[in-house]
A and B are shown apart, each in its own frame.
Chain A
Amino acid sequence: MLSIKNLHASIGGKEILKGINLEVKAGEVHAIMGPNGSGKSTLSAVLAGREEYEVTEGEVIFNGKNLLEMPPEDRAREGIFLAFQYPVEIPGVSNVNFLKTALNEIRAYKGLEPMEAKDFLARLKEKQKLVELDGKLANRSVNEGFSGGEKKRNEIFQMAMLEPKLAILDETDSGLDIDALRIVANGVNKLKSPDNASIVITHYQRLLDYIIPDVVHILYNGRIVKTGPKELALELEEKGYDFIKEEVGA
């Protein structure tokens, strides 16, 4: 589904990603862990198409298409979904209106008619339940006045509505208390299918108690330095990131 080869990216002339290689297949959950400043958020930003980052080398192929040539909205329309670490507030634009616009833009891209209002509402109700999102939040402006936990839940709700092929969860656990974390993880698990895949980016191991990854990658200094089964996350939590630093001899 996703194939990243020797990806280099920099911001303001400073190289952050120094040759990332990653293969994600349909049905898989990949966890990417790493200390602060290792390039985790840069990777998600580059995949989603943030313009501040310059890709200097390498390629990203998503379902046979060159992802790096697409503007961000086309990446979304092709099925990439980024759950933001810090979701943005958009005053005055209701969640419902925002999602309807997004959904219909994506449909138009695929040559489909806009969704019938009643189908849209039915989907809205169904997916709200999935993340235990209060119906009131759906009618409020996008993320405006939401607590950090509500914003994160809203990201997963949007993901459920847009049904992406590849979801990238960028530190979705940060700022979530244990109860909210369980709800969010539960939502993500329910959305899992043999046709889609997800990349879970996190600093701490806690989230991976609830979303069980197939593969764990450790990102350090712009490179994936270690890949292993889910137990690797526990080992990392126990020994701390210093053990990686020692192991790679940085």
Chain B
Amino acid sequence: METAIKKNTITDKLLAEFEASKPALFGDLSLREEAMRSFLKQGIPNRKSEEYKYVNIDAMLKGEFSFFTYRPLMVKQISNTRFLKGAINIVLVNGRCEEKLSDMTSFPKGLEIGYIADASFNEVFQKHFSKYADINTDAFIALNTALANGGAFIHVAKGAVIESPIHLINISSAEESTFVNSRNLIVVEENAQVKLIESFESVDCTAKTFTNSITEMVVEAGAIVDYTKIENENEQGYLINTTQVYQKEKSVVTANTITLSGSFVRNNLNVALDGEHIETHLNGLYLTNENQVVDNHTLVDHRKPNCNSNELYKGIIEDKSSATFNGKIFVRIDAQKTNAFQSNKNILLSDEGTINTKPQLEIYADDVKCSHGTSTGKLDADKIFYLRARGLSEISAKKLLMHAFASEVVDAIKIESLREYIEEKISKRFE
């Protein structure tokens, strides 16, 4: 056969891995096979594909990868990653749920957390799994749906108010190149409230880790979810992070995406507003330096009338790093009286840095209020001068201004200890 003559491409390796791991996959195998077929049809995206035009995925996937790396980490090795006060911590190492590192003993009433593979017989899982992240829209969604072998399942029962934040700690840890497909399903039932934090860290990691993570989140009527992602991997970390949010009427979702480090980070944050009187807030902050590549894609899909969405993404770009913001607001014909706002602001600190910003408004309803704004500039020379005239050094004046620029996003984070943690990270970064 012709395929046999082909050289050993990444696609071939992924297919081989799929065939080998088939017996161990959780959930419905026919779905897995369909997803693999969809992936093979789409292939690994290259620069010609509009959605990935600013990144070179092929180059990142050169060389050999292991698909499952077991790392028995010690509690003290990961203690820094458990930074949230009063949180329920769930630790996943290379996608695998580590019970002894996590707080899995008892949960508040109405909360259920488990390893995603264990949940696959659960009714809630069966009702929602893979119903929102469409395998035919993105090759990495297809690939994850085919290969996912780790991740968490979180279920908040109707009317439950979970006051302690839940912290999902994703740790990359490897001595040889590792490819992780991790998958979370979060279901928040009617009138429930929950705060979720997902962080991505490298611990004892000396080899390249390529993580393809997907979180599907279902937010039922009247539910309120506060969700923050913090991406903080080391220079060996390559991360594609897809979040698919599905909201029903009168629900409120706030999603904060904070990208601090990692060689490559691609965020796909897609929100479907499928009910009336929904509120969605998307906040993003990316601080890039050296050769980092950070690419944020957001899609806000207004499907029903009378909803509000509000999006603010800010970035500071240093050195030879590159950042992309591609934000799409889609207002369907039925979504009258939509209120949608989008703003992307960037500070470019070097001549070699790159920023690509592409706001897209696609509006098919006629009675809507939509706006977008974008700006890219340097630090305001007048302000720097003013501060220097008050005795600050140029460096500290710049630091102060960058901090002020970032704080608009950080201030939107409601959990105090989380906000403090991020502020500290930012301060360190600008030292």
Contacts and interface: CB of A to CB of B under 8 A. Distances in A.
In the complex they form, whether A and B have CB atoms below 8 Å apart is answered with yes
A175 B341 CA distance: 19
Nearest to B412: A147
Contacts of B339: 89
Interface string B212-251: 0000000000101010000000000000000000000010
Main secondary structure on B side of the interface with A = strand
Interface string A122-147: 00000000000000000000000101
A93 B369 CA distance: 17
Contacts of B73: none
Contacts of A89: 339, 369
Nearest to B224: A177
6 closest A-B pairs by beta carbon, nearest first, are: A148-B279, A177-B224, A178-B161, A174-B250, A175-B252, A204-B191
A204 B222 contact: yes
Contacts of A203: 222
A192 interface: no
B279 A177 contact: no
A98 interface: no
A86 B305 CA distance: 13
Interface in A77-120: 86, 89
Interface residues of A, number: 15
B373 to A, nearest CB: 13
Given A178-B163, A237-B159, 6 more contacts: A147-B281, A174-B250, A175-B252, A203-B222, A206-B159, A206-B191
Contact of B252 (A177, A206, A237): A177
B306 A86 contact: yes
Nearest to A86: B277
Given A86-B277, A89-B339, A204-B191, A175 B224 contact: yes
B310 interface: yes
B209 interface: no
A174 B222 contact: yes
Residue with the highest number of chain B CB atoms closer than 10 Å, among A148, A176, A178, A204: A148
B186 to A, nearest CB: 17
A204 B193 CA distance: 14
A237 B158 CA distance: 11
27 contacts: A86-B277, A86-B306, A89-B339, A145-B310, A147-B281, A147-B310, A148-B252, A148-B279, A148-B308, A174-B277, A175-B224, A175-B250, A175-B277, A175-B279, A176-B224, A177-B226, A177-B252, A178-B161, A178-B163, A178-B193, A203-B222, A204-B159, A204-B191, A204-B222, A206-B159, A206-B191, A237-B159
A237 B159 CA distance: 10
A242 to B, nearest CB: 14
A191 B83 CA distance: 41
Interface string A14-56: 0000000000000000000000000000000000000000000
Tell me the interface secondary structure of chain A in the complex. Answer: loop
Interface string A142-165: 000101110000000000000000
Contacts, number: 38
A89 B310 CA distance: 14
A177 B227 CA distance: 13
Contacts of A204: 159, 191, 222
Interface in B291-331: 306, 308, 310
A175 B281 CA distance: 13
A147 B161 contact: no
Contacts of B306: 86
A177 B226 CA distance: 10
Contacts of A237: 159
A175 B253 CA distance: 10
A206 B250 CA distance: 16
B67 to A, nearest CB: 40
A89 B163 CA distance: 31
Contacts of B159: 204, 206, 237
Nearest to B339: A89
A199 B310 CA distance: 32
Contacts of B252: 148-149, 175, 177
Interface in B323-373: 339, 341, 369
B341 A145 contact: yes
A192 to B, nearest CB: 25
A28 B72 CA distance: 63
Contacts of B224: 175-177
A147 B250 CA distance: 13
Nearest to B163: A178
Interface string B258-282: 0000000000000000000101010
A12 B376 CA distance: 51
Interface in A167-212: 174-178, 203-204, 206
Contacts of B250: 174-175
Nearest to A174: B250
A87 to B, nearest CB: 11
Contacts of B163: 178
Interface in B131-152: none
B226 to A, nearest CB: 7
